[in-house]
Copies of this chain bind each other. A is one copy, B any other.
Amino acid sequence: MTKPIGVFDSGVGGLTVVKELIRELPFEDIVYFGDTARVPYGIKSKETVIRFSIENTLFLLKHKVKLICVACNTSSSVALPAIKSHFKVPIIGVITPGVREAVYATRNRRIGVIGTKGTIKSRAYENEIKHFNPEIEVVALACPLFVPFVEEGWLSGKVVMDVAKTYLKPLKDAHVDTVILGCTHYPLLKPVIKKVLGRGVTLIDSAKQVAIEVKKILSVESELNGHRRNRGRHKFYVSDNPEWFNGLARRFLGGPLVNVKKVK
């Protein structure tokens, strides 16, 4: 029962998922791995992302996790079937929970998806949406500059607004009423994206849905930690540059981190 939940991401973005996990499951221990030595995954080939994802899974299994949450959208898009087929531990990605919410939210059956090049190229979101409802129209767009803007901390102002206007124009033109933020960094640009797309558009941030899904699975498998014990402990491992990770962590997690360790 006291085994931790494992979370991995290509870097720091997965902390938006950790934030929601802590909110939803305050008594669970969490082990996070951020692959900061090989970030970003979004421009890498499918085989490479699969190889990295398997290595990350093996790392988390060494920490005896009871469930693995693939917080990285690129890994979830291109590597999830491969790693699910390799390992016995329950593994959940960020695609399906976000898609379920979006399909539920849309009124006009037009959904937009934004993400990295790797995520969009994989068509994982499109396929999953069509799986739920083949009649939904999907407009999927890569917005590669959003991640560097978030990591630079340029979260508002004229420049990022102009970038968002350029990227998001096809979504406006297509009159989507729901947009999936298909990258863990994008929730930090919510105010900008909302301003560009207008109030009529619902933004889906999958982190919250992922946390609810994790709770459901642990509950079904009777692996939930009860309320009697203390609040969960959270450990963070990175493959490089813990200072960089720590500097950005506050932005993603909404608070400072302790206990960030570098591993090989």
Contacts and interface: CB of A to CB of B under 8 A. Distances in A.
Interface stretch (A21-29, A37-45, A225-233): A37-45
How many copies of the polypeptide does the oligomer hold? 2
A149 interface: yes
A144 B145 CA distance: 11
A185 to B, nearest CB: 12
Nearest to A148: B148
Interface stretch (A62-70, A156-164, A198-206, A207-215): A156-164
Given A241-B45, A241-B48, A162 B158 contact: yes
Contacts of A147: 148
A240 B50 CA distance: 12
Contacts of A45: 240-241, 244
Interface string A228-264: 0000000000001100100000000000000000000
A159 B166 CA distance: 10
Contacts of A135: none
A106 to B, nearest CB: 29
Contact of A37 (B44, B152, B158): B44
A19 to B, nearest CB: 22
Interface string A1-44: 00000000000000000000000000000000000111100011
A193 to B, nearest CB: 16
Interface string A154-183: 100011001100100000000000000000
Given A38-B38, A144-B152, A149-B145, A240 B48 contact: yes
A216 to B, nearest CB: 36
A137 interface: no
Contacts of A154: 145
A151 interface: yes
Contacts of A148: 144-145, 147-148
24 contacts: A36-B43, A37-B38, A37-B44, A37-B48, A38-B38, A43-B241, A43-B244, A44-B240, A45-B240, A45-B244, A48-B240, A48-B241, A144-B152, A145-B145, A145-B148, A145-B149, A145-B152, A147-B148, A148-B148, A159-B159, A159-B162, A159-B163, A159-B166, A162-B162
Given A36-B43, A37-B38, A159-B159, 13 more contacts: A37-B48, A45-B240, A45-B241, A45-B244, A144-B148, A144-B151, A145-B149, A145-B154, A147-B148, A158-B162, A159-B162, A159-B163, A162-B162
Q: What are the 4 A-B residue pairs with the smallest beta carbon separation, nearest first? A: A148-B148, A45-B241, A159-B162, A48-B240
